[in-house]
Amino acid sequence: MDHHRSGCPINLTLEILGDRWSLIVIRDIMFGNCRYFRELLTKSEEGIASNILAARLKNLVAAGLLGKTDDPSHRQKSIYSLTEPAIQLVPILAHMGAWGRRHAPVSRELSIRAQLLEEGGPKMWDGFMAELRHIHLGQPAPVKSVLAQLQAAYLRVVAEEQAKKTND
Amino acid sequence: MDHHRSGCPINLTLEILGDRWSLIVIRDIMFGNCRYFRELLTKSEEGIASNILAARLKNLVAAGLLGKTDDPSHRQKSIYSLTEPAIQLVPILAHMGAWGRRHAPVSRELSIRAQLLEEGGPKMWDGFMAELRHIHLGQPAPVKSVLAQLQAAYLRVVAEEQAKKTND
DNA sequence: ACAACTGGTTGCAAAATAAAATCAGTTGTC
DNA sequence: GACAACTGATTTTATTTTGCAACCAGTTGT
């Protein structure tokens, strides 16, 4: 973005993240630990197109929300990582999850993580941000993994829903 | 929206609010107390076009985030108001303001409100939400007006910046 | 040598967006 | 009652973004 509509902080945040896909990409890197182009392309529920994903990654790297480094094991691969500004989006994403859970027709599987994050509150968010700083910025690992808790809860609910289905 | 990309709460929130203008409109109703089409059209810093504003208002009313009632003093005018779901966006907007203030080239005048709201924390947000429920939903007025505090701080900073300019 | 996989580009049609002009109903003023 | 100004839109036109499919060249494991 070369020209800003205004100096309002909400507006400027919206100029970077106010579209249908940018926060989806960040969500998948953050909660799904997707680090490669192909992972983001295929693991996402919403089915982003490859050209859109390429454009969004470029924008987010340019905006300083994502880092892009070479994968030593595969010369062509790039590893995407969250920068500190992106990690500081955790409270916004947590609130968005909580809002969506209250006011939108969410599915149980995909909202269990938002529920845990809402119940955990800012204290859990801080723990999660510390973990993201470990994964993406190489800082020391926290004792407890929030990501593992979220993933375990997700898998538990998926299994429950699967059991419910087969009982029909 | 007739079809949802996924049942993820973040995605569903994004499907409603994930564009360049919807949250700008809500911001101006919420913090600027703009209640009429023309107010939203002209008072906004960003210069929204009338057709986009009309489309966004329609969408937001349809999505249940805004209410639309006739103005008794002017047969043609409509009054827009926030619904409870929209009022619950306060924490998200507060966080977005805080994020923008940290990571974007904000102006001092337009970020003083975000600063106060950040410093006030969730306690101030709750007070603000109570005030919005008074203004938009007819609930009893809280003793202290957050909106007045924000507006006073804004005017003070505008005056300061004005003084700085004339001293050059 | 070869098939599968990597991140990414290209072309094209459809949809969303933006700005400007226009519109008809309402209001206040004379 | 004539009339200009204002209301919330709609229409028109142009630009940008999106979605989809095909394609590409470099890399890897067999």
Chain B 2..41 CB hits on strand D (< 7 A)? 36-39, 41
The nearest CA of chain B is from the CA of A65 a distance in Å of: 10
Q: Please, which positions of strand C sit below 7 A from a protein CB?
A: 5-11, 16-21, 25-27
Confidence at B165, pLDDT banded by 50, 70, 90: confident
Neighbours of A18 (CB within 10 A): 22
Which domain CATH number covers B45? 1.10.10.10
Tell me how far apart the alpha carbons of residues B165 and B137 are, in angstroms, rounded to a whole number.
Answer: 41
Measure B9 CA to D2 C1' (Å).
Answer: 58
Tell whether A73 and A95 lie within a shared domain.
Answer: no
Instruction: Tally the domains of chain B.
Output: 2
Q: What's the residue count for chain A? A: 168
Tell whether A111 and A67 lie within a shared domain.
Answer: no
Confidence at B110, pLDDT banded by 50, 70, 90: very high
Model pLDDT, residue A38 = 93
The nearest CA of chain A is from the CA of B138 a distance in Å of: 21
Is B4 an 8 Å CB contact of chain A? yes
Tell whether B34 and B71 lie within a shared domain.
Answer: yes
Please write the tens of the pLDDT for every residue from A28-65.
Answer: 999 999 999 999 999 888 999 999 999 999 999 999 99
Q: Which two tokens stand for residue A34?
A: 């997707």
Please write the tens of the pLDDT for every residue from B119-151.
Answer: 999 999 999 999 999 999 999 999 999 999 999
Tell whether A41 and A69 lie within a shared domain.
Answer: yes
* Residue with token string 């809402």: A118
Tell whether A3 and A53 lie within a shared domain.
Answer: yes
Is A76 an 8 Å CB contact of chain B? no
A-chain residues within 8 Å CB-CB of B97?
9-10, 13
pTM listed for this prediction: 0.93
Model pLDDT, residue B71 = 86
CB contact under 8 A, B10 and A24: yes
Tell whether A56 and A25 lie within a shared domain.
Answer: yes
Q: Is the CB of A62 under 7 A from strand D?
A: no
CB contact under 8 A, A92 and B97: no
| Domain's final residue, options B83, B115, B147 | B83
The nearest CA of chain A is from the CA of B72 a distance in Å of: 31
Tell whether A134 and A93 lie within a shared domain.
Answer: yes
Tell whether A64 and A125 lie within a shared domain.
Answer: no
The single-letter code of the amino acid at A108 is: R
Q: Which of B20, B47, B114 sits opposite A9 (nearest CB)?
A: B114
B168 Cβ contact list (under 8 Å, min separation 6): none
Residue nearest D19, CA–C1′ metric: A49
- Estimate to the nearest angstrom the gap between the alpha carbon of A53 and the chain centroid: 14
Q: Is the pLDDT of residue B2 over 70?
A: no
Share of chain B above pLDDT 70, in %: 99
Q: Which of residues 11-40 of A touch B (CB under 8 A)?
A: 11-16, 18-20, 23-24, 27
Model pLDDT, residue A2 = 59
The single-letter code of the amino acid at B5 is: R
Model pLDDT, residue B3 = 79
Task: Give the residue among A102, A64, A97, A100 at the shortest CA–CA distance from A83.
Answer: A64
Neighbours of A154 (CB within 10 A): 17
The nearest CA of chain A is from the CA of B147 a distance in Å of: 17
Task: Give the residue among A13, A155, A135 at the shortest CA–CA distance from B99.
Answer: A13
Model pLDDT, residue B161 = 87
Tell whether B71 and B15 lie within a shared domain.
Answer: yes
* Residue with token string 């939400």: B129
| Domain's final residue, options A66, A83, A100 | A83
SS (H, E, C) chain B: CCCCCCCCHHHHHHHHHCCCCHHHHHHHHHHCCCCCHHHHHHHCCCCCCHHHHHHHHHHHHHCCCEEEEECCCCCCCEEEEECHHHHCCHHHHHHHHHHHHHHCCCCHHHHHHHHHHHHHHHHHHHHHHHHHHHHHHCCCCCCCCHHHHHHHHHHHHHHHHHHHHHCC
Q: For the CA atoms of A143, B96, B59, A113, what is the dihedral angle to 10 degrees?
A: 0
Tell whether A110 and A164 lie within a shared domain.
Answer: yes
Q: Is the pLDDT of residue B76 over 90?
A: no
| Domain's final residue, options A83, A116, A151 | A83
Cite the DSSP H helix spans in A88-145.
Answer: 90-103, 108-137
Domain residues for A153?
A: 88-168
Residue nearest D6, CA–C1′ metric: B38
Q: Which two tokens stand for residue A154?
A: 């997700």
- Estimate to the nearest angstrom the gap between the alpha carbon of A63 and the chain centroid: 16
CB contact under 8 A, B96 and A10: yes
Tell whether B79 and B142 lie within a shared domain.
Answer: no
Tell whether A62 and A125 lie within a shared domain.
Answer: no
Is A59 an 8 Å CB contact of chain B? no
φ, ψ of residue B53 in degrees (nearest 5): -60, -45
Tell me how far apart the alpha carbons of residues B13 and B29 are, in angstroms, rounded to a whole number.
Answer: 19
Q: Is the CB of A49 under 7 A from strand D?
A: yes
Please write the tens of the pLDDT for every residue from B17-46.
Answer: 999 999 999 999 999 999 999 999 988 889
Q: Is the pLDDT of residue B70 over 70?
A: yes
Nearest CA in chain B to A11: B24
Q: Which residues of chain A have pLDDT under 50?
A: none
